[in-house]
Amino acid sequence: MNKAKLYGFLISVIGVMVGLITLLLHVKVVTVSNYFFFVGLLFFLVGTIAVLSKGHLFTGWRIFHRKGDKERFENEKIPADKIGGIKNAKIMIRPTAQLTLIIGIIWIAFAIVITL
């Protein structure tokens, strides 16, 4: 198990324990569930954005110039075969994205389970 998964599970377990302690202090179950769901959704959103940031979505976009402008940038013209190779590359999931996705999924699942 890599460090991101280990830290993700550790943070998730600590959060779930805090949630259970708040339930023992007679806080409403729905309130705790709402907080866990929204914070988990925020973590999941941040993780998704982190995954998409390495997705090479904007590779191959052209910089448009005016008609009379003769100046060209060196990196503007990328051959089509290189663009396809870059866009078809594997999706890179960085450890921070993996960490936030794990925390988000576990907290959302905990929020759903405690309201059942």
Q: pLDDT class for 104, splitting at 50, 70, 90?
A: very high
In the prediction, which pLDDT does 62 show?
61
In the prediction, which pLDDT does 38 show?
95
Token pair 């988000």 is found at: 104
**pLDDT at position 30 over 60:** yes
In the prediction, which pLDDT does 96 show?
87
In the prediction, which pLDDT does 77 show?
59
In the prediction, which pLDDT does 18 show?
87
3, 95 Cβ separation under 8 angstroms: yes
Alpha-carbon distance of 43 to 100, in angstroms, equals 5
Phi then psi dihedrals of residue 95, to 5 deg: -60, -35
In the prediction, which pLDDT does 47 show?
92
Average pLDDT over residues 37-44: 94
Residues 6+ apart with CB under 8 A from 70: none
In the prediction, which pLDDT does 89 show?
80
Kindly report whether the global pTM for this prediction surpasses the value 0.75: no
Alpha-carbon distance of 86 to 31, in angstroms, equals 45
Q: Which of 7-16, 58-67, 85-94, 102-111 has the highest mean pLDDT?
A: 102-111
SS3 per residue for 3-68: HHHHHHHHHHHHHHHHHHHHHHCCCCHHHHHHHHHHHHHHHHHHHHHHHHHCCCCCCCCCCCCCCC
